């Protein structure tokens, strides 16, 4: 060992080393990973092709390496990045050194369900984040640990999310499933146990109806670019915290929207753009952003925004898009600003 590298190594390992009664002869040699791993479990051994930053020693970065399989993962790693490789499968023992892994990031690979062997993912008992966006999955992976917080499976070919895969994930807050091939029946029942789920993206799938049993805590719900024609009466009533609801690029018609289905008092933003609506659905007075561009709307009834107008009862809509409809300035009622008092931006063209 060169003496010149000593100060650096001392800084690197002093925190871990102080528990040992060491002398100079026991300093780890970087050329011998086994010795190294005994002495400095978390910082020193890194898969040779990967990068484990000194400042963030429990993370291993193996992005953009054309890897075809999971590299050796040494004990001590908690955050594993394997983005943009050519990984098709995961062997059953791949993570045996790191069953306490917390983040596993596998976006942009070629993973297929049949090549993710055995219980390799279920063995990760402390997993919080699992990202497998942009892969070749046909089903949701699992079962996964109940510690999961963030599950991202967008841009695959998923046609099925079984109920048992999500069972017990009481702390999951974010779930990405956009850009898959899900139909209504392929998720029904699977989602409702996700008690902490705040963010659910089911955009760019093949839903013709909304699924039954949405998780009750949702704050943001995205269903853009599906083929939804109608919404069941009182469908959103169980979602007491819902703030953002996006249903753009669907096939909604007036007949498919029961009178008060979008009159949701918690809602801040509603996107119904690119549908087939002829009238403006009734919304709650608390709504702030309302997107209705590119429909077939040809009238502007104020009663859609304000049932009654009074000192405290008026619409909070600030931003209203109506371009791409059959409406001109002349269609706007003169007394509009009694109701839409804070509307800063109403676009017609
Ligand atoms: C576990 O760690 C040991 C020692 O670093 C290594 O030899 C082995 O290949 C690792 N196993 C896996 C599956 O990564
Ligand atoms: C995904 O899987 C299909 C067959 O199952 C295969 O034809 C295709 O090449 C795979 N795509 C990628 C990106 O691995
Ligand atoms: C869920 O989160 C809470 C609070 O962080 C934690 O106490 C609890 O153990 C977690 N539950 C699971 C199953 O991980
Ligand atoms: C929305 O529903 C509430 C009752 O829940 C009602 O008071 C209000 O007038 C409705 N808003 C509109 C614009 O109809
Ligand atoms: C647009 O509305 C006008 C009346 O406001 C109606 O005469 C016309 O046919 C409508 N055009 C379309 C394409 O619906």
Segment 51-108, tens digit of pLDDT: 999 999 899 999 999 999 999 999 999 999 999 999 999 999 999 999 999 999 999 9
67 domain-assigned: yes
Decide if pLDDT at 174 tops 50.
yes
Give residue ranges with CB within 6 A of ligand 3: 146-147, 170-171
Quote the DSSP letter at residue 312.
S
What would the pLDDT profile of 227-239 be if each residue is shown by its tens digit? Answer: 999 999 999 999 9
Helix, coil or strand: residue 92: coil
The atom of ligand 2 lying closest to the CA of 157 is 1
Q: For residue 274, how far is its CA from the centre of ligand 5 (angstroms)?
A: 18
Residue 109 in domain: yes
Q: Which of 194, 191, 216, 193 is nearest to 202 (CA)?
A: 191
Instruction: Using CB atoms within 10 Å of the CB of residue 273, give its burial: 0 to 12 exposed, 13 to 18 middle, 19+ buried.
Output: buried
Nearest atom, ligand 4, residue 282 CA = 13
Atom of ligand 5 nearest to the CA of 298: 2
Provide the residue range defining the domain that includes 55.
40-128
- CATH classification of the domain holding 62: 3.80.10.10
**pLDDT over 70 (residue 188):** yes
Average pLDDT over residues 122-127: 97
Select from 326, 329, 332 the residue to mutate for testing ligand 5; criterion: most ligand atoms less than 8 Å from CB.
326
Burial of 131 (0-12, 13-18, 19+ CB in 10 A): buried
263 lines ligand 4 (CB under 6 A): yes
Neighbouring C-beta atoms of residue 170, cutoff 10 Å = 13
Q: Which atom of ligand 4 is nearest to the CA of 305?
A: 13
Burial 70-89 (b: 16+ CB within 10 A, else e): bbebbebbbbbbbbbbebbb
Q: Is residue 193 part of a domain?
A: no
Residue 211's pLDDT is what?
93
Residue 73 Cβ inside 6 Å of ligand 1? The answer reads yes
The yes-or-no verdict on residue 1 having pLDDT over 50 is no
DSSP string, 26-86: GPPPTT-HHHHHHH-TTTT---TTSB--TTSTTEEE--SS--SS-----TT--EEE--SS-
Rounded-to-integer distance, Cα 276 and Cα 91, Å? 49
Helices (H), the chain: 6-17, 33-39, 163-166, 336-339
CA of 339 to the centre of ligand 5 (A): 25
Share of the chain above pLDDT 90, in %: 77
Least confident of 33-37, 120-124, 159-163, 226-230: 33-37
In a domain, 53, yes or no: yes
Looking at residue 334, what is its pLDDT?
86
Residue 6 vs residue 207, higher pLDDT: 207
Q: Which of 13-27, 160-174, 217-231, 276-290 has the lowest mean pLDDT?
A: 13-27
Question: Is 286 touching ligand 4 by the criterion CB < 6 Å?
Answer: no
Ligand 1 pocket member 253 (CB < 6 A)? no
211 domain residue, yes or no? no
Q: Is residue 80 part of a domain?
A: yes
What pLDDT is recorded for position 312? 79
Q: What is the DSSP letter of 329?
A: G
SS3 229: coil
Closest residue (by CA) to atom 9 of ligand 3? Answer: 147
Q: Does some domain include residue 69?
A: yes
Supply the pLDDT for residue 21: 31
Tally the domains of the chain. 1
Of residues 149 and 142, more confidently modeled: 149
pLDDT at 133: 98
Confidence of residue 45 (pLDDT cuts 50, 70, 90): confident
Identify the weakest region by mean pLDDT among 7-11, 143-147, 152-156, 268-272.
Answer: 7-11
Assess whether pLDDT exceeds 90 at residue 40. no
| Rounded average pLDDT over 196-201 | 98
Quick one: pLDDT at residue 344? 85
Question: How many A from CA of 321 to the centre of ligand 5?
Answer: 19
**Is 110 part of any domain?**
yes
Tell me what pLDDT residue 28 has: 32
Q: What is the position in ligand 1's atom list of the atom closest to the CA of 75?
A: 2
- Measured from the alpha carbon of residue 282, the closest ligand is 4
Ligand nearest to the CA of 315: 4
Q: What is the pLDDT of residues 263-320, one digit of tens each?
A: 999 999 999 999 999 999 999 999 999 999 999 999 999 999 998 877 778 999 999 9
Whether residue 110 has its Cβ less than 6 Å from ligand 2: yes
Write the burial class of residue 345 (CB in 10 Å: 0-12 exposed, 13-18 middle, 19+ buried): exposed
Which whole-number Å values give the CA distances from 314 to 17, 126, 307, 343, in the listed order? 67, 49, 9, 11
Average pLDDT of the residues of the chain: 88
pTM for this predicted structure: 0.86
How far, in whole angstroms, is CA 244 from its chain's centroid?
A: 14
- Burial zone of 28 (CB within 10 Å; 0-12 exposed, 13-18 middle, 19+ buried): buried
Q: What is the pLDDT of residue 15?
A: 34
Nearest in space to 195 (alpha carbons), one of 177, 173, 178, 162: 173
Round to whole Å and give the CA distance between 243 and 328: 30
User: Ligand 4: which of 237, 264, 307 to mutate, most ligand atoms within 8 Å of CB?
Assistant: 307
Asked if residue 48 has pLDDT above 90, the reply is yes
- Report DSSP state, residue 211: P
Query: Is it the case that residue 10 has pLDDT exceeding 60?
Result: no
Average pLDDT over residues 178-191: 92
Cα distance between residue 45 and residue 116, in whole Å: 25
CA 9 to CA 254: how far, in whole Å? 70
Q: How confident is the model at residue 35 (pLDDT cuts 50, 70, 90)?
A: very low
Give the per-residue pLDDT at 310: 76
Q: What is the mean pLDDT of residues 101-129?
A: 97
Lowest mean pLDDT among 37-41, 71-75, 112-116, 235-239: 37-41
């Amino acid at each position: 060992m060169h003496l010149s590298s000593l100060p650096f190594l001392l800084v690197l390992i002093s925190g871990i080393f102080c528990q040992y009664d060491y002398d100079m002869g026991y300093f780890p040699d970087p050329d011998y990973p086994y010795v190294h791993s005994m002495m400095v479990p978390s910082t020193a051994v890194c898969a040779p092709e990967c990068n484990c930053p000194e400042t963030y020693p429990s993370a291993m970065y193996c992005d953009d390496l054309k890897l075809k399989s999971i590299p050796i993962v040494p004990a001590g790693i908690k955050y594993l990045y394997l983005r943009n490789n050519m990984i098709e499968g995961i062997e059953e023992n791949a993570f045996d050194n790191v069953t306490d892994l917390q983040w596993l990031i596998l976006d942009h690979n070629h993973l297929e369900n049949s090549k993710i062997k055995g219980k390799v993912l279920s063995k990760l008992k402390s997993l919080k984040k699992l990202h497998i966006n942009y892969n070749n999955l046909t089903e949701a992976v699992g079962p996964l640990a109940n510690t999961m917080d963030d599950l991202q499976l967008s841009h695959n070919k998923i046609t099925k999310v079984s109920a048992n895969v999500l069972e017990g994930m009481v702390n999951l807050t974010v779930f990405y499933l956009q850009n898959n091939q899900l139909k209504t029946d392929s998720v029904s029942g699977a989602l409702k146990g996700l008690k902490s789920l705040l963010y659910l993206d089911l955009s760019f799938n093949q839903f013709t109806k909304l699924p039954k049993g949405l998780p009750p805590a949702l704050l943001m719900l995205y269903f853009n670019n599906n083929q939804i024609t109608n919404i069941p009466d009182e469908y959103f009533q169980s979602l007491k915290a819902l703030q953002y609801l996006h249903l753009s690029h669907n096939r909604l018609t007036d007949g498919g929207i029961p009178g008060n289905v979008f009159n949701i008092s918690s809602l801040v933003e509603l996107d119904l753009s690119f549908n087939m609506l002829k009238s403006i659905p009734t919304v709650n007075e608390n709504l702030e952003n309302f997107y209705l561009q590119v429909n077939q709307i040809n009238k502007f009834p104020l009663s859609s925004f304000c049932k009654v107008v009074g000192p405290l009862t008026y619409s909070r809509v600030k931003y209203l898009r109506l371009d791409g409809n059959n409406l001109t300035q002349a269609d706007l009622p003169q007394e509009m600003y009694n109701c839409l008092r804070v509307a800063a931006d109403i676009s017609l063209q």
